[in-house]
Amino acid sequence: MKIAMVMDPKDNVATLLSDVEKGETVQVRLGEESREEKVGEPIQFGHKFALKRIAKGENVVKYGEIIGRATQDVDTGYHVHVHNVESLRGRGDKR
């Protein structure tokens, strides 16, 4: 079974440790705990997918920290990346 890691209980995304295909079931690990999630589309190694529905405008959380904001709704199991997240770091217009 493919594996994805969650770094903090507050995270709403998991990072894949291998490429996955649409419909594959992934074992999501947080420390000693694990659960299974199904991915909704092909996603590459090292990329993230949503652990729950992330609404447009909602913060994306990884490592327990906000890493960006969703620019569109992202359903559970779908790819979370630059095509649907805007960065909030290093921007002078977002304080």
DSSP string, 42-88: -B-TT-EEESS-B-TTPEEEETTEEEEEESS-B-TTSEESTTTEE--
Neighbours of 13 (CB within 10 A): 25
Domain assignment present for residue 94? The answer is no
Q: What is the DSSP letter of 20?
A: B
Domain assignment present for residue 93? The answer is no
Domain assignment present for residue 13? The answer is yes
Q: Domain count of the chain?
A: 1
User: Counting Cβ atoms within 10 Å, is residue 58 exposed (0-12), middle (13-18) or buried (19+)?
Assistant: middle
Domain assignment present for residue 7? The answer is yes
Domain assignment present for residue 91? The answer is no
Tokens encoding 38:
């199904």
Domain assignment present for residue 6? The answer is yes
Quick check: 95 pLDDT over 80?
A: no
Give the CATH number for residue 75. Answer: 2.30.130.110
Boundaries of domain holding 17 = 2-86
pTM score: 0.91
**pLDDT 10s digits, 1-52:** 899 999 999 999 999 999 999 999 999 999 999 999 999 999 999 999 999 9
